[in-house]
């Protein structure tokens, strides 16, 4: 079984500045500096104006929902890979994939970064599949919610970085 999803994350940052920030190693290294169980790999296989961000993190046992704990066969390790393209005519596109080691989960989809009247937004569309008999359908919405929470956390971090730079 699989589940489609779509949501938008709004930023108070202009699209050009947000795209430039997404491309910088400094932003991602700062974001992961306080995550002791996370790893980060950055590359630019598609050249200047693009970035590939590979992130992994071990989930803390106290943060794992009980329905997921019942079917875990090892520790839960989440991996997400984002690929962002160049900014063209005020928009940029990206793709993402996500997997979970410890439970058969796959997620993939697309990002569209575009301007808004108050800054910018990233529209996220994708598909998540958890191939665990009986409970996979209950876990898929949890995986979508986790991605939504992570992207909102990234939004807060980015906005704080811009606010700190403006007052420095």
Residue for token digits 């929470």?
Answer: 149
CB 65 within 8 A of CB 142: yes
40-82 pLDDT, tens digit per residue, is 999 999 999 999 999 999 888 888 888 888 877 788 899 999 9
Closest CA to 113 of 25, 43, 27, 9: 9
Q: pLDDT tens-digit profile of 100-118?
A: 988 889 999 999 999 999 9
Tokens of 146: 């986790």
Class of domain 3-167: alpha beta
Q: Global pTM?
A: 0.90
| Domain locations along the chain | 3-167
What confidence score (pLDDT) does residue 55 get? 96
The two three-digit tokens of residue 51, written as one number: 């970035």
């Amino acid at each position: 079984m699989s589940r489609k999803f779509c949501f938008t994350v709004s930023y108070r940052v202009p699209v050009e500045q947000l795209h430039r920030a997404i491309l910088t190693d400094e932003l991602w290294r700062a974001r992961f500096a306080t995550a002791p169980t996370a790893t980060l790999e950055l590359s630019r296989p598609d050249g200047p104006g693009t970035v590939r961000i590979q992130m992994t993190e071990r989930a803390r046992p106290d943060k794992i929902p009980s329905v997921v704990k019942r079917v875990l066969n090892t520790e839960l390790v989440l991996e997400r890979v984002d690929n962002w393209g160049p900014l063209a005519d005020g928009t940029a596109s990206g793709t993402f994939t996500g997997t979970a080691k410890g439970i058969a989960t796959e997620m993939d989809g697309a990002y569209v970064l575009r301007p808004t009247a108050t800054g910018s937004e990233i529209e996220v569309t994708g598909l998540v599949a958890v191939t665990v008999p009986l409970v996979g359908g209950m876990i898929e919405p949890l995986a979508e919610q986790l991605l939504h929470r992570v992207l909102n956390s990234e939004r807060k971090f980015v906005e704080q970085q811009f606010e700190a730079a403006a007052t420095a």
